[in-house]
Amino acid sequence: MPELVFFSGTMDCGKSTLALQIGHNRSARGLQGVIFTRDDRAGEGKLSSRLGLVTEAVEAAPGMDLYAYLVDQMSRGSRVDYVIVDEAQFLAPEQIDQLARVVDDLELDVFAFGITTDFRTKLFPGSQRLIELADRIETLQVEAMCWCGARATHNARTVGGEMVVEGEQVVVGDVDRPAEEIGYEVLCRRHHRRRMTSATAHAGALSPDVLPVAAS
């Protein structure tokens, strides 16, 4: 039976790499799929991995009817055997409903990849709807790591290396951005609660206030 599968995890845990691998495996079997993405780090209409892999994709713009797009492609003679959606957290809830309809009415597997919560630990609306509708939810087994070495469970937005907890929910960035720019970092819950990024932890370690004082 076709399924709507939600692959979730933090940033830097290999979601896009797995999406590309699933597409490659099915392509090798002669199947043809449609890849949707939204706001990929490589630019519009791209699905990219931090390993350097990239492929063309359809930009799932706000307001786009994903179900209608696939029906139109198939009625024009295009073959569609499966659907991959990367950055699914950025989709609107109604677009997730459309993906569920793709599974139920067109009988296609839909593999959606996304982050569950934002930098404030709040659910993305698209991810929330996927949790509500998905036939299966898979947590990626490749664990991202906090700077302290613990398993990273939270996404942090940084500006100049400092963690911020206010602002728009969607601001495109990456974990590889220079410290002075808006970027992201994955943290364990403890250090997310303490707003302690790798930059601030390093600065604290070098501060004379925390260095041991030798007895005179």
By the 8 A CB rule, do 139 and 171 touch? no
DSSP bridge pairs for 162: 159
Eight-class DSSP state of 152:
P
Q: How many CB atoms lie within 10 A of CB 62?
A: 9
Q: 215: exposed, middle or buried (C-beta count within 10 Å: 0-12, 13-18, 19+)?
A: exposed
Q: Which of 44, 59, 87, 185 is catalytic?
A: 87
DSSP string, 102-132: HHHHH--EEEEEE-SB-TTSPBPHHHHHHHH
**Kind and range of the H or E element at 69?**
helix 66-75
Catalytic annotation present for 162: no
User: Catalytic residue numbers?
Assistant: 87
